[in-house]
Copies of this chain bind each other. A is one copy, B any other.
Amino acid sequence: MWLAELSERSGVPIPTIKYYRREGLLPPGETAATTRAHYDEGHLDRLRLIRALVGVAGMPIARVREVLAVVDDDAVPVAAAMGSAHVQLSPEPAREPSEASRARVAALLRARRWRARVDGRHARALAAALDAMDHAGAGMAEETLAAYAEAVTDVARADLASTTDLSRERAVERAVTGTLLGEPVLLALRRLAQEGLARRPARG
């Protein structure tokens, strides 16, 4: 396809595509004439991935370049490539999480046998979120946290199931967009469930 079609199908404006090309994020097309190049489905997948990293996840170009380097390295298993983008999604907490909350998260990881890094971004974000509840005088009870952890196990399983049988590029894109765009769904569902269950005459 020509540049115009690539732009239309990807939803990325032509000047932005040219910028990604200059930055080396998008490989050049096959030169068909001195001023025209031909692009294929691989370019389209790559462009969709860049759009997800930049537009949905808000990553700076330098970080996008790092993620793409991992995607392009066939020696890296696809799950690890997905992880390299996924780990970037949690920002560093504004303040250092408390020792107590970090210990709670470490205990949770052991209990659930999740092979996540205890000093990783997601674990630190969780500890910071627990701290915020404590500071508001609304600390989360241990059994509530356990119920949440049990619930998200099923959510994460469903998420991971939807990323199988995809190309490397599409799998990484899905890890980013599925995680981020699924968040408003999960939160709205929780509020809806709270509303729906609170209106029942008897809880059960």
Contacts and interface: CB of A to CB of B under 8 A. Distances in A.
Contacts of A194: 86, 156, 159-160, 175, 179
Contact of A157 (B87, B192, B197): B197
A171 to B, nearest CB: 11
Given A86-B194, A144-B158, A181-B136, A149 B199 contact: no
19 contacts: A52-B136, A83-B199, A86-B191, A90-B191, A109-B196, A114-B192, A122-B188, A122-B195, A125-B188, A132-B181, A144-B162, A148-B155, A156-B193, A156-B197, A157-B203, A160-B194, A160-B198, A160-B203, A179-B194
A69 to B, nearest CB: 20
Interface in A121-135: 122-123, 125-126, 128-130, 132-133
Contacts of A143: 158
A154 B114 CA distance: 20
Interface string A36-78: 0000000000001000100010000000000000000000000
B125 A177 contact: no
Contact of A151 (B125, B154, B179): B154
A197 B151 contact: no
Given A114-B195, A120-B195, A159 B144 contact: yes
A191 B150 contact: no
A182 interface: yes
Give the size category of A's interface with B.
35 or more
A22 interface: no
